[in-house]
Structure 1
Amino acid sequence: MNYIAIKDIVRSVSQTHKFEKDYLKAVNTSDVFGGELLDVPYSETTSLKGQFKKTIQFNDILFSEIRPANRRFGRVNIKDTADYVVSTKLMVLRKFNEDVDLDYFYYCLTNQSFLETLQRRAENRIGSFPQITFDLLGDYRFPIPTLAEQKRIASVIANIDSKIRINREINRNLPLTA
């Protein structure tokens, strides 16, 4: 089985947003969690802090540089991202390697064991808080089976994730009994 470094699968993209609109949806680390890009309200462009600079596109992965164990990551599942600007505290990862399935890579990147490894590395970093950079992240390697096998693995995990989401929704809608 081949092992491929993250930097050979995705790039960290830092395209600066053009700010051509009066209102934008500003995505911060608190707006992504456990795979979900939460609904973000519009903000006046003039009121946005200087950290909001990055442009995103469909299927990008947003991954917090701060405290990886907090699970602040998500996939961009919005087709029209023109109204979104992202904080510089989020890495924008864009896949370029055609031999790697995006879903498979995403599950490798966000599995609990790997997040714990990143957290330990972040805590060993000298700084005011546990942080990682793409330079650190990019050198990690993942096992990459055939593309067909990657898709099969990702499909199985996606089915389990779907069942978990459905169960959570059912549990939220259950009546409370005393």
Structure 2
Amino acid sequence: MEAWRKIRLGDACVTNAGSYSPKDEWKFFNYLDTGNITDNRIDSIQYIDVANDKLPSRARRKVKKNSIVYSTVRPNQRHFGIIKMQPENFLVSTGFTVIDVDVDTLDADFLYYLLTQPTLVEALHAIAEQSTSAYPSIKPSDIENLEIEIPELATQKKIAEILGSLDRKITQNTEVNDNLLQQARALYKDRFIDMRSCDGVLPENWHIGTVSEIIELHDSKRIPLSSRERANLDKIYPYYGATSIMDYVDRYLFDGIYLLLGEDGTVVDSNGFPILQYVEGKFWVNNHAHIITGKNGFSVETLYLLFSLTSVQSIVTGAVQPKISQANLNKVSVIVPSREALGSFDSVIQPIFAQIRNLRAENDRLAAVRDILLPRLMSGELDVSALDI
């Protein structure tokens, strides 16, 4: 550790350096909100045409290549990332602290990994919980005042490359899975939706029914755990909310393959399609998602494809807190194919979803390796100086 030195982070970076001004006169914007990035994975970027849409008041922060975006609200939800590519006229929410490094002192990727260590995230979250704002939040100065130990720049780059190689493989696997899901949706659309558009007549033994005919709801088993309760549990099984994994706990409610569909909060995307999660294995889930399996010939996988292509905007209620109730969900009209047609389709898509599950499992293993290496590399316990990277 002799070659490592302690610095105040604010002395080697700047925060929130660039902001949008009306003088920029952009005609359109690409906007990233805090909830649309988790662990450096972006779910969506909102396109805003100023001629037709109002720019959100929080769309103000400018970023550049290697800017780190770090949500100031509830840091333990891990809404952070590092910008490598960006669309034109890109802004991020003022809910982020944007961090740009002094490249003569810090490698941006090294700093990103340092700031995403669980111990440091929890330390920042502890600061957030002491805040007097409406939500647990940190200030840019809380990040700037962090004291960190860093090696020389060449070593920082080696450490970042080791961790980055694992994350790139995880990203590659995720992209393959996204492509597999797109193919599966196209197959479902061709088999069960487009065929009807020719003459409007359904095949024999098909009918127009409701969701209640094809799903089983397991909502009675949902039991939320508070953040205080979860803080004392070992991190083993995923704890799901409506839209993503919120935490990990040492117990589980379900074991198997299920479909989670958002019940309240963020329940639909910009096109009115429901927020879905296809999950497998042992997990806990809070009370913000419906837990679904299929019946009458519908597998969980077929249900996932059906709902991913079915707008449910018309059944969303609640002006302040959007909600999809069990009763309204069960009333949604759907095409119910014959059991024979469903079985034939299932034989096609099950290998696709098996590959998706395999790649997810590989990603879990890669992430576990990364998470084991991360604190050891960041502390200097593992010496990388002799590595040729």
Give your verdict on TM over 0.5.
yes
Is 1:116 the counterpart of 2:122 in the alignment? Answer: yes
Contact 2:67 2:108 in 1 (8 A): no
Which residue number in structure 2 is paired with residue 41 of structure 1? 46
Which residue number in structure 2 is paired with residue 175 of structure 1? 352
Q: How does 1:89-168 map to 2 (within 5 A)?
A: 89-168=95-174
Is 1:72 the counterpart of 2:111 in the alignment? Answer: no
Contact 1:37 1:76 in 2 (8 A): no
Amino acid at match of 1:31: N
Q: Shift of residue 44 of structure 1?
A: 2.5
Relative to structure 2, which stretch is displaced further, 98-107 or 159-168?
159-168
Q: Shift of residue 119 of structure 1?
A: 0.9
Larger Rg: 2
Paired residues in the alignment total: 176
Structure 2 CA distance for partners of 1:50 and 1:14, relative to 1, 3 Å: farther
Q: Shift of residue 69 of structure 1?
A: 0.6
Amino acid at match of 1:49: P
Amino acid at match of 1:176: F
Is 1:8 the counterpart of 2:185 in the alignment? Answer: no
Match of 1:25 among 30, 44, 52: 30
Relative to structure 2, which stretch is displaced further, 33-42 or 111-120?
33-42
Distance 1:171 1:82 in 2: 27
Stretches of structure 1 lacking an aligned partner (at least 5 in a row): none
Structure 2 CA distance for partners of 1:153 and 1:28, relative to 1, 3 Å: same
Amino acid at match of 2:134: S
Amino acid at match of 1:22: K
Contact 1:28 1:87 in 2 (8 A): yes
Q: What TM-score, normalized to structure 1?
A: 0.87
Higher relative contact order (CA 8 A, sep 6+): 1
Structure 2 CA distance for partners of 1:160 and 1:12, relative to 1, 3 Å: same
Distance 2:175 2:49 in 1: 33
Amino acid at match of 2:121: L
Structure 2 CA distance for partners of 1:146 and 1:109, relative to 1, 3 Å: same
Q: Shift of residue 106 of structure 1?
A: 1.1
Stretches of structure 2 lacking an aligned partner (at least 5 in a row): 181-350, 355-389
User: CA RMSD of the aligned region, Å?
Assistant: 2.2
Q: Shift of residue 137 of structure 1?
A: 1.4
Q: What TM-score, normalized to structure 2?
A: 0.42
Q: Shift of residue 162 of structure 1?
A: 2.4
Distance 1:168 1:78 in 2: 18
Amino acid at match of 2:7: I
Is 1:53 the counterpart of 2:53 in the alignment? Answer: no
Relative to structure 2, which stretch is displaced further, 37-46 or 56-65?
37-46
What secondary structure does 2:10 align onto? helix
Contact 1:32 1:74 in 2 (8 A): yes
Residues 17-39 of structure 1: per-residue CA shift (max 9 Å, x gap):
13512221122101221113444
